[in-house]
Structure 1
Amino acid sequence: MKSIFTSFLQLFVVSLLLCNVAYAQSDTNEDSHTITITIPEVALLDIEPNASKNISATFTHSDEAGDPLAAPANNTSLWLNYSSILKAGGATARAVTVSITSGTAPGVSIKVVAGTATGGQGTLGTPTAQVTLTGSAQSIITGVGSAYTGDGASQGHQLTYAFEAADANYANLRSNAGSPDVVTVAYTLADN
C-alpha cells in the first residue's frame, strides 16, 4: 500500500506537469509588431553656385570694318541640382523644363544644354539635345525618377550656355551698352 506521502508526491508531480503544459500553451516562442514608414513626396530644384548664378554675355567686335560681332565664349559655370521622390501610384517620371520668363535680347539666340549628371543616386534624368530658349517651356532633362544629384557646384547637371547673333537675326541687333538687355531664365521640375 502506498503511503500518503507517495500519493501526495505523485499528485504534486502531476500537478506541476499540468501547470507547465498550461503555461507553455499560453506563451509562444515568437512575437511581432509593425513599423510604419512614411516617405514624403519631394520635387526640389536649384541652380548652383547660388551666390553667383547670374551670368553676363558680352558680344565684341574686332574693330575691322566688315567683320560681324563675335559671340562670347560658352558659359559653363552653373550646375542644376534636384531632389525627387515620386508619389506612389502617381507619375512614373519627371522632367526639367526651361524657358525665358521675362526680358528679350533682340537678334540674340540663347542656347542651353545640360550635361550628364555627376554625383547623386537613384534614377537621374537624361539630358535632351541643346535647346534655343523661348518663352515656351522646353524639356532639357527627362526621365527623372526618385533620385538626388548632390548639392552644389560640380554636382548634378552642368549647364552650358551658348550665345549667337545669327545672320538671319542680325538685322534685329541694337546697341544697348548703356542699358543691357536682361533675360530671366527659369527651370522647373515637374511630373511628366
Structure 2
Amino acid sequence: MKSIKNVKLGFNKNAEVVVKSDIEMKSENDIDSLFLCFFSILHPPLRLSVITASSLNDQLAEIISQTPQTVEKMMRENPEMYSMLIQQNTEAFLENGEEQNKIPLDSASNSKNASAILTSMLKNGYYIQKTRYHFPNAKPETQEQKVDINQLKPAFKAMLEISKRWDDPTLKQELMNHE
C-alpha cells in the first residue's frame, strides 16, 4: 500500500456510520491492503478523530525486526501468526497513524454530530467500511465490510460521554490533569 486518501465519515440512509476511503496501491501485485481505522477522542483541541494506520507490513517488519518480504511471506503462509502480531501491535500502529477526519468538540452542533456517530455505532455494534483500492494501470476494486465494535463498546461509551460533556469545565480540568 502506498497511501490512504479521501477518508470520509458519514451516515447511510439506514443511519449506519460509513467510513469511505481510497487506497493507493504500490502495484498490481501489492498484497499489503490491510489498514486499521481507529475512532478516538484527542485533545488539545478536544475532538472526535478518525485515525488510520496503513502500510502495516512495513510497520510490522520494523517492529519485529524482520524484512517486509518476511512479513509478506508470513501473511501468505501463516495468516494466524500474522493476525496475532497485527493485533498485538495495534497500539504501535495507532501511534504511527494519521488523523484523517475530526469533529472539533467546540460547539453544541459539533457535539451533537459526534454523539450521533458514536450512538449509531453503539446501537448497531458496527460501522460500515467502504474501501476503493486504486492499482496502477488497473480499474479500482471496491470492498465493503461491517466492522464490529462490540469489544470496544466501553471505549465508545466513554467517547460518547466526553462528546456530550464537551463544554463541562470539570471535564476540561480532568483532561488537563492527564496531559
* TM-score, with structure 1 as normaliser: 0.24
Compare CA radii of gyration and give the structure with the larger one: 1
* TM-score, with structure 2 as normaliser: 0.25
